[in-house]
Chain A
C-alpha cells in the first residue's frame, strides 16, 4: 500500500501538505471572490451609468479580462508586478530583483478575472429588480442611500445568487492556475507530491478528487442558499 503511506499525515506522507493546500485554495478563492466583488460591482455600475465614457471603460474591462487567456493575465501581474516593485525598491536604495508575493499576485489576477464574471452577474441582477419596488421606496420618501441599501442591494443579491454560484466555481478552478507562479495551493501541492514520489497519476487523481469535493460541496451549499432565497421571494404577504 504505497500510495496510502504517501498520503499519511506523518513526516514521510503528503496528507498534511495536501490538506493545507486545500485550505490555501479555499482562502485564495475567497479572497479573489471578494476582490472580484469590488471590481465587478464597479464595472457593473460603470456599464449601467449614463456617462458614455464610463460605459466604455466598463466594456473595455470586460473585453480584456473575458477575452485574454487567464494565464496571460497571471503573467502580467506576476512579472509586471515584480518589475514595478523592483523599480520602486531601487528608489529606496534596494538592489536586485524584488518579486511580488505569489498570494498577492494570485488574489489580484484571479480577483480581476472573477470581477469580469461578477460584473455581468450584478448587471443582470440589477436589471431584473422590478422598477416598481424602487419607485415604491421613492414614494415613501426614502433617500438615495436608503433606497440603495434597503431595497436595491438586497434584491440584487437575491437575483445574483445563482450567477454567483457559477462564478465561485469558475474562480475556484481559475485559482489552480496560480500554481504556475509557485503558490502552494492544491494544484501545486499535487504537482510537488507527484514529482517527488514519481506517482504522477495517483497524485493528479487525488488532486482532481480534491477539486471535485470542493466544487461539489460548494455547489450544494449554493443550491441550499438559492432554495432559501427563492422561498422568501415567493412568500406572499398574505401568508403571514
Chain B
C-alpha cells in the first residue's frame, strides 16, 4: 500500500487547438486514489475535450499525462505538435482507464454480456469463463443481470449507460472517466445511472466526471473543477465552491443551473 499520497492520475499543462480555436489553454489536474472529481462548465468550455485528451482519444498539442507514476511517452512532430510515440503504451494505459461516453457507444452487434467481456477477453487476454463470471457480477451490480442476452438496441438509454459502466468496470480500471454520462438521457432515466455512479464513489473508485448534474458534483464528489474558456476558473471542495462561490463566472453558472432545475 502507498502510504504517501501519490497522484493516481496526474495531468499537467494540457493544451489543444483546432485550427484557430484554442480549446484548452493549459489544464493541470491531479487526482489521488479514491478522489471523485466533478468537472463542471458551460458547453464549449472544453471540459469534454479535456477528458478525451486524458486517454488520448484526442491528442493534446502540449502537456503530459501520467497514470500511477507512468508517463505517456510523446514525441514532437516537425510542426511543433506532439503525438504519442509508443502505441503499445497508449493501448496499455487506455486499458487501465475506464471511459464512459455520453452516447454510451455500446457495440450494437454484440449482446450485453458480450459487450462487457469483450475488453477483458480481447485486451487483457483473460479466459472466457473468468470474464463471464465477473461480467455477471458487474451486471448484477448495475442491475441488468436479467438483460444479459439483450442487444443494445433493445435497451433504454439508462440501461445502455449502465451496461457501458459495467463494460468500463470489467477492465478493472485504476481511474474511471465519465464524459457527461447522463446528458443523453431522458430526465426520468438520469437517476438510475447516478445511483450506480454514487455506488462506485462510495466503493472508493477514482473517478473524473464531466457533468451537468449539480447534485452529483455537490454531494458525491470530493472535488469540483469549474472550467471556463479552456482554463480552470475555480476549483476546490464542493463546500468551498458552492458555498464560497469564489468567482463571478461560477456564481453565474450556478445561478443559471438552479434556474433550470427550478423550472
CB–CB under 8 A between A and B in the complex? no
